[in-house]
């Protein structure tokens, strides 16, 4: 029985052509979430359509398959949707302050656009504008930080090269300037709101967060930085709600029946568990630090959410409400 999902087969052919080491049956099964038998049918469909498919045998006996360059022909031509997605990504990067990534995506978009036929290029711009407007990207409001392109470029270069940097950094909370801090950059945390660098601090002997807007000088060294073997960014970030690394708490929130349908669409934390209560309310549980940032998020829910645990979170929320009332009264 032939495998019939044409879109998946087209993508599979492009992947086999685009990867020098090809794909194994395990790769196909994992990428397309299919059984091994279905992965075999997909591979066979590609071999039937492209007789030039090459079979590579690995030392352990596992086999991989790839297509020589140019095999897929016009199937590799970009679509308007592809270029629209690049524009969308560039605009989102630009709005988050990552101008370097935005410029790279714009350049990639220009290269793909050059491969389109004349008529398709002519109608490209209005189609892209419509896609961006439909996604709400072009008109998305809201405050965001302005991070110098030089800062992003230097940090990205240090991360890719795996070297220590020497930096002057001004702390956001105190305004104090740390001169010649020796840091091992690990990752930039970009997106809406404030932007941060996760880096190993030679002084603290641990991974710390540094506001990107606080960097006043960055110099790359010639000394290699060895990433801590036990450091995993995803695991490290799951300790927090947002970006703040604090002691981990058992967190329990309960959303009212009116708010429950909306709350179910949120991923509050990667470790969350949701429970539907008999009265229609929704209980959310997870483990994380960052109580103050949790308060900032919970404000948007108003009286539709109740803090069950931890008690410290409720106390911080009450203090924040009193502070806001005092400032409003003033």
Residue 27 lies in a domain: yes
Residue 2 has pLDDT above 50, yes or no: no
Query: Distance of alpha carbon 224 from its chain centroid, rounded?
Result: 26
Does residue 310 have a cis peptide bond before it, meaning omega lies within 30 degrees of 0? yes
Q: Alpha-carbon torsion 174, 180, 185, 191, what sign?
A: positive
Neighbour tally for 294: CB within 10 Å: 25
Q: Alpha-carbon torsion 115, 118, 119, 125, what sign?
A: positive
Q: Are 322 and 274 in contact (CB under 8 A)?
A: no
**Residue-wise pLDDT tens digits, 7-49:** 788 888 888 887 888 889 989 988 888 899 998 988 988 888 8
78 DSSP 8-state letter:
P
Rounded to an integer, the average pLDDT of 134-144 is: 56
Question: Structure tokens of 170?
Answer: 């001004």
Residue 125 has pLDDT above 70, yes or no: no
- Residue 67 Rama label (left phi>0; alpha psi -120 to 50; beta): beta
52 DSSP 8-state letter:
T
Residue 235 lies in a domain: no
Give the gyration radius of the chain's Cα atoms: 25
Same domain, 267 and 318: yes
Residue 118 has pLDDT above 80, yes or no: no
% of the chain exceeding 70 in pLDDT:
84
Same domain, 225 and 155: yes
The count of residues in the chain is 330
Residue 228 has pLDDT above 80, yes or no: yes
Interhelix angle 99-113/149-161, rounded to 10 degrees, is 80
Residue 144 lies in a domain: no
Q: Any alpha helices (H) in the chain, and if so which ranges?
A: 6-18, 25-32, 36-49, 80-95, 99-113, 118-122, 124-135, 149-161, 233-237, 260-263, 291-298, 311-329
Same domain, 111 and 157: no
- Total number of domains constituting the chain: 4
Same domain, 49 and 105: no
**First-to-last C-alpha distance (Å) of the chain:** 75
**Residue-wise pLDDT tens digits, 237-278:** 766 665 555 678 899 999 999 999 888 888 788 788 999 999
Gap between the Cα atoms of 308 and 285, Å rounded: 10
Residue 240 lies in a domain: no
CATH number at residue 17: 1.10.10.10
* Predicted pLDDT at 216: 92
Residue 115 has pLDDT above 90, yes or no: no
Q: Is 59 helix (H, G, I), strand (E, B) or coil?
A: coil
Residue 243 lies in a domain: no
Least confident of 63-77, 248-262, 265-279, 303-317: 63-77
Residue 58 lies in a domain: yes
**Residue-wise pLDDT tens digits, 270-300:** 788 999 999 999 999 988 887 888 888 888 8
Residue 141 lies in a domain: no
User: What domain range is 113 assigned to?
Assistant: 80-135
**Residue-wise pLDDT tens digits, 172-219:** 767 788 999 999 998 887 765 567 888 999 998 988 889 888 899 999
Rounded to an integer, the average pLDDT of 75-91 is: 77
Same domain, 216 and 154: yes
pTM: 0.50
Question: Structure tokens of 109?
Answer: 């978009």
Q: What is the mean pLDDT of the chain?
A: 82
Same domain, 176 and 220: yes
Q: Per residue, what are the HEC states of 226-271?
A: CCCCCCCHHHHHCCECCCCCCCCEEEEEEECCCCHHHHCCCCCCCC
* Predicted pLDDT at 282: 94
Q: Is 128 helix (H, G, I), strand (E, B) or coil?
A: helix
Least confident of 91-95, 227-231, 300-304: 91-95
Among candidate residues 76, 97, 119, the one where a domain is terminated: 76
Among candidate residues 174, 199, 230, the one where a domain is terminated: 230
* Predicted pLDDT at 137: 59
Same domain, 88 and 69: no
- Residue 105 Rama label (left phi>0; alpha psi -120 to 50; beta): alpha
CATH number at residue 207: 2.30.30
Question: Structure tokens of 3?
Answer: 């495998």
Residue 244 lies in a domain: no
């Amino acid at each position: 029985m032939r495998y019939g999902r044409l879109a998946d087969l087209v993508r599979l052919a492009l992947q086999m052509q685009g990867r020098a080491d090809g794909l194994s049956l395990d790769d196909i099964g994992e990428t397309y979430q299919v059984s091994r038998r279905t992965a075999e049918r997909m591979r066979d469909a590609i071999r039937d359509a492209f007789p030039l498919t090459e079979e590579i045998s690995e030392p352990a006996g596992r086999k991989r398959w790839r297509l020589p360059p140019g095999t897929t022909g016009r199937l590799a031509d970009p679509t308007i949707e592809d270029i629209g997605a690049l524009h969308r990504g560039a605009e989102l990067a630009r709005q988050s302050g990552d101008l370097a990534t935005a410029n790279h995506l714009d350049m990639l978009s220009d290269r793909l656009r050059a491969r389109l036929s004349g008529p398709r290029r002519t109608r490209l711009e209005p189609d892209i504008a419509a896609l961006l407007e439909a996604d709400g990207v072009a008109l998305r409001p809201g405050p965001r930080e302005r991070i110098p392109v030089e800062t992003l470029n230097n940090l990205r270069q240090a991360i890719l090269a795996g070297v220590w940097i020497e930096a002057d950094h001004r702390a956001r909370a105190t305004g104090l300037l740390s001169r010649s801090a020796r840091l091992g950059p690990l990752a930039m945390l970009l997106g809406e709101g404030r932007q941060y660098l996760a880096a190993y601090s030679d002084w603290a002997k641990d991974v710390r967060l540094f506001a990107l807007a606080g960097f006043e000088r960055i110099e790359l060294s010639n000394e290699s930085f060895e990433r801590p073997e036990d450091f995993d960014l995803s695991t490290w970030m799951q300790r927090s709600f947002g970006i703040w690394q604090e002691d981990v708490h058992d967190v329990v929130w309960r959303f009212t029946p009116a708010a429950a349908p909306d709350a179910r669409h949120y991923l509050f934390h990667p470790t969350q568990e949701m429970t539907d209560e008999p009265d229609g309310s929704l209980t959310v549980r997870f483990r994380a630090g960052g109580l103050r940032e949790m308060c900032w998020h919970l404000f948007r829910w108003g009286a539709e959410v109740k803090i069950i645990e931890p008690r410290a979170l409720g106390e911080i929320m009450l203090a924040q409400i009193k502070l806001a009332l005092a400032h409003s009264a003033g």
